[in-house]
Structure 1
């Protein structure tokens, strides 16, 4: 199979999209993309792992070809709830979960909430909250949230003349992207608007940090509940703090960390062969 089948399901009143790479008799493998990304961002990894797994890659709510949430409700537990509704996962388990960035955090919460449902877990540069992070007072969090919402109300969506211009913007954001990969990501991550120009598919409100989100002690409690072997892959040149250097594996029962040098936050795009090698060794070695 060169390309996956496109399918839809319903969760929380939303019509959500996922791609299914086939091989239904194989063990299920769930690929969870990060914020402002989409399911087809995983194509290189999905094609390589399809012979050994039944690969499923959802578009999280507010991303890709999934519905946007009315009112911009995008907490991490809501993404987890949507995963529990995914038809290919019903009656399956334990499953393998791979998540990048925000999708890594979603995978960690899923594995911590349903430890018996996850057999192996891989997180790509997805420790976005550190245990020692300070928690701001409730009124400050609420004021920040209100300010973010007001700013988005006044912000005009960015538009592009064509896919090539959108791909060029992606390369400007991540210079390591090849022109071919940037165009692939842009073709699945944008939609044509009524004026003929292209805009990103993700909901801008996905950026907003809700004041009631999970906090470091919540995440740590969930990490400690994860029972499966866990691989934490970090990017040597990420904008995130180096959680590997801060002994993050101490908070897990059975985890090891690897740092991929020469890669930024999107390490699966920057060093695809190295990421695939480490993933294969962990899952099949």
Structure 2
């Protein structure tokens, strides 16, 4: 398979050396793509390959993921992602209203950002970034205690004996991945750190549960402030219900949350799981371009 060529660039974003991947022609309409948890910007390669139009796609690695520098802290604070995104957009598109896409964690970030900076967004695309089950106040003491306990035993990530073993691990998580796509992702998702050992390019601190409760009311206030048209895409075989309290409760809650968007177009991709940009990149690319060009 022939992949659309990309180039890497490194910027200092809020004190951290950050990696940004580019596809397409400089000067073409910009489309920013933000990846999810334990993923990398290169994850959008298959969608980029399927795009038909003339685009300049810009996909950073979030802090502590991929080739971007780790923060050195024991917990990653969600607002830092918003501040990093703000700095990235100021660098590449100062004063412009931009097209912004995010998957999963990235979808949550871009939706919060679009509410905080509505004037910066031309069109917003959220791929399965529906959020978490809302916390209750009485859960807060236990959450703080769990966080404090976790600091005594910092999390770690397993290592692998080869890129092929990394690819097999990706296919175990997502059986829809072809051998070729799994091998491509393994090259960008991991690196050889010592002889005979490959390590996932993600700071283990990302596995540490943060102390702050998830308040859906705060999130929905941001969603309600979004003025740009929104494309919401979910997968028919999604597993996002696992972090929204189960399918029945999650479906009801997600529909309620999507109702807070002023202008939303909703789609469900068949034969796709949560990594829908890997499972159905051609169908997803068509939806993206139809939405951006409408």
Question: Normalising by structure 1, what TM-score?
Answer: 0.91
Return the offset for 1:187: 0.4
What SS class does the counterpart of residue 154 from structure 2 fall into? helix
User: 1:72-91: CA deviations, max 9, x gaps?
Assistant: 34222111111122264341
Q: Per the alignment, in what secondary structure is the counterpart of residue 251 of structure 1?
A: coil
Q: Secondary structure at the match of 1:21?
A: strand
Q: Residue 42 of structure 1: which of 34, 41, 44 is its match?
A: 44
Relative distance call for 1:136 and 1:8 in structure 2 (3 A) is farther
Moved more, 58-67 or 6-15: 6-15
Q: How big is the shift at 1:126?
A: 1.0
Query: Structure 1 stretch 208-217 or stretch 229-238: which is displaced more?
Result: 208-217
Once residues 35 and 84 of structure 2 are traced to their aligned partners in structure 1, the CA distance between those partners, rounded to angstroms, is 14
Aligned-residue offset at 1:133: 5.3
Larger relative contact order (C-alpha < 8 A, sep ≥ 6)?
2
Tell me whether 1:217 sits opposite 2:220 in the alignment: no
- Which stretch has the larger CA shift, 90-99 or 58-67? 90-99
Which residue is 2:244 aligned to? none
Q: Specify the alignment match of 1:142 in structure 2.
A: 144
Q: CA offsets, 1:262-282, max 9 Å, x none?
A: 211101111222211211211
Cα distance per residue 1:163-215 (max 9 Å; x no partner)? 00110011011111111111111100101112331010111111223123652
Matched, 1:191 2:211: no
Measured at CA, do residues 211 and 278 of structure 1 come closer, stay the same or move farther in structure 2, by a change above 3 Å?
Answer: same
* Structure 1 residue matching 2:159: 3-state secondary structure: coil
Q: Could you say which residue in structure 2 is the equivalent of 1:162? A: 162
* Structure 2 CA distance for partners of 1:133 and 1:234, relative to 1, 3 Å: farther
Counterparts of 1:110 and 1:50, CA distance in 2: 28
Gaps of 5+ in 2: 242-246
User: Unaligned stretches of 5+ in structure 1?
Assistant: none
| Aligned counterparts of 1:6 and 1:50: Cα–Cα separation in 2 | 22
Q: Does the CA-based 8 Å contact 1:75-1:213 persist in structure 2? A: no
Check whether the contact 1:249–1:257 (CA below 8 A) recurs between aligned residues. Answer: no
Aligned alpha-carbon RMSD (Å): 2.1
1:11 deviation in Å? 2.0
Aligned length: 282
* CA distance in 2: counterparts of 1:136 and 1:75, whole angstroms: 22
**In the alignment, structure 1 residue 265 sits paired with structure 2 residue 274:** yes
Name the CA shift for 1:92/1:244 in 2 (closer, same or farther; >3 Å): farther
SS of residue matched to 2:259: helix
Q: Distance in 2 between matches of 1:90 and 1:120?
A: 14
Instruction: Classify 1:277/1:95 alpha carbon distance in 2 versus 1 (closer, same or farther; 3 Å).
Output: same
Asked whether the equivalents of residues 234 and 244 of structure 1 are also in contact (C-alpha less than 8 Å), the reply is no
1:252 aligns with 2:254: no
Displacement after TM superposition at 1:245 (Å):
5.3
Correspondence 1:228 to 2:231: no
